[in-house]
Amino acid sequence: MGDITGSPAPTEALLVIDSGHSHTTITPVLRGQPIQRAIRRLEIGGKLLTNRLKEIISLRHFSLMDEPHLVGQIKEDVCYVSLDFAGDLSRAWQAGGGGVKLSSNGAAAHASAERLDYVLPDYHTTTRGHTRPHDPACAASVARIVGGGVGGGGDQDAFPLGNERFTVPELLFAPTDLGMAQAGLPEAIVQSVSALPEGLWPVMLANVLVVGGTAALPGFVERLQTELRAVVKSECAVRVMRPEK
């Protein structure tokens, strides 16, 4: 398609990235109306990330397969989007002595990066878990905190969390790590924008609005802006925003 005549004002054009529970949708909006032909959908959202974290915790420690709400809370409390994924993995490898990371080809590797312990709620004195600095005694599997918990209630279980804190959200940017034949979020955004008239590209890329619970993960906005900047034309300004609460 060719250029359009007269680019709209920035307030009239938005590229909305809605990363919610079931999926992530990319919707160009012009003068309040979605441009249907350019909408793209990534089959990764909060539910898939929670399920992946649930599998990892259940494999390494003990089964939380029947506790999606609890694992969702753990994800909200500890997960973040890495701003230097390759570097974080390298540092995790060099640190050593941590848990076991399963790579995309199934190989196992010892890794430890920004480890912390997650203390599960006992549902007597507390109904939500919390983090604490990593205790080496918790490294092997699961530690029982006798008489622990806020207020000195009953026993609580705690387990360490390391590189899964950032490898799980990384699926948004690399779905192939989970065997999904889909482009990552930055590439899907480029596909969406490319379906528009070329004259709309700059204004859309300068007004990227991210919404949804998954987009609230720390580092999401910064990582997306960096990734987009690397794959779009240099003359296009890239600005990724999150609505103020």
* Domains of the chain with CATH codes: 10-43+182-241 (3.30.420.40), 46-169 (no CATH)
Q: Which residues contact 207 (CB under 8 A, 6 or more apart)?
A: 10, 13, 14, 15, 239, 241
pLDDT of 145: 54
φ, ψ of residue 144 in degrees (nearest 5): -100, 120
CA–CA separation, 224 vs 197, rounded Å?
23
**Which pLDDT band holds residue 8 (cuts at 50, 70, 90)?**
low
Which residue would you say has higher pLDDT here, 30 or 126? 30
Give yes or no for residue 113 having a pLDDT over 60.
Answer: no
Q: What is the full DSSP assignment across 19-65?
A: E-SS-EEEEEEETTEE-GGG-EEES--HHHHHHHHHHHHHHHTS--T
C-alpha Rg value of the chain to the nearest Å: 21
Each residue of 31-87: pLDDT tens digit?
A: 999 999 999 999 999 999 999 999 999 998 888 999 999 999 999 999 999 999 888
Give yes or no for residue 144 having a pLDDT over 80.
Answer: no
